[in-house]
Amino acid sequence: MTLPALPALFGAVMLLIGVFVCLVSGRHVWRTAALFRADTVDRLGGDDDGRLVRVTGTVEAAGSTLTAPFSGVDCVALRSVVEERRSGAYLLPTYVTIHESARSTAFEVRTPHATLSIADPARTVALDATTVETVALGDDPPDRIARYERDHDVPVSRVSLPRPLEAIARAGTFGTRRYREQRASPGDDVTVVGRVDGGRLDPLVVSTATPLGTLRRLSTTSLAGLLIGVGAIVLGAGLLVVA
């Protein structure tokens, strides 16, 4: 049995990886594009089931709310992010995301003409980010944050230096951790895009930005993924043709 040539095998693998990356990234871009495909409404009718709509209004609680882990603020949609200052391009320090989690609960949006019920959970949130706490290398975080890191298995710092070098790392801010939250709280103005289901809105996107701003926030990573996927497909196809 003749084994496939190494370039052909590598090309096939690259082609499959490229197709997979394009599918995942394209799905996210399509979901984000719902911001522009959706019809703008300020109330829901009885014949709206299945319709893709966009609603802008003020958040109101519909029962229990979530408690943001770093700030303790009540909210209905939340993304918690832990970033650490590490060596990036050209060895310059940059913040790298080492942990993130997202949660949401059912809530309501009040428009000038109605109060609309938003189901749980929101699939994608694009909310204004707030830096709650910044902790330098070697310092202990506040109790609330330390408890969150234990409960959610946040990775320990990769920056571990002897004491004589710790001062140098501090000067370069290496190892500094930044704790950030994106949250929508009662009283905030939001835009929700989703499909109507039984008189409620099943949310695809919850955002505090304009539709264009939301598209920019959400699509940057996905568009980069599409470019990488297309590059992998071109490389894989090229290798298969040459092999």
Give a yes or no: residue 223 inside a domain. no
**Cβ of 221: how many Cβ atoms within 10 Å?**
12
Give a yes or no: residue 73 inside a domain. yes
Q: How many domains does the chain have?
A: 1
Give a yes or no: residue 155 inside a domain. yes
Give a yes or no: residue 86 inside a domain. yes
Give a yes or no: residue 22 inside a domain. no
In sequence order, what E strands does 63-147 have? 66-67, 74-75, 77-87, 93-104, 107-110, 115-118, 124-126, 129-135
* Residue 142 pLDDT exceeds 50: yes
CA atoms within 13 A on the CB side of 166: 9
Give a yes or no: residue 19 inside a domain. no
Residues 10-67 have pLDDT tens digits of 888 888 898 888 888 877 777 677 677 788 888 887 777 888 999 999 999 998 999 9
Give a yes or no: residue 217 inside a domain. no
The parent domain of residue 134 ranges over 41-209
Give a yes or no: residue 84 inside a domain. yes
Residues 162-202 have pLDDT tens digits of 555 555 555 557 788 999 999 999 999 999 988 998 888 89
* Residue 239 pLDDT exceeds 60: yes
CA angle 77, 182, 44 (to 5 degrees): 40
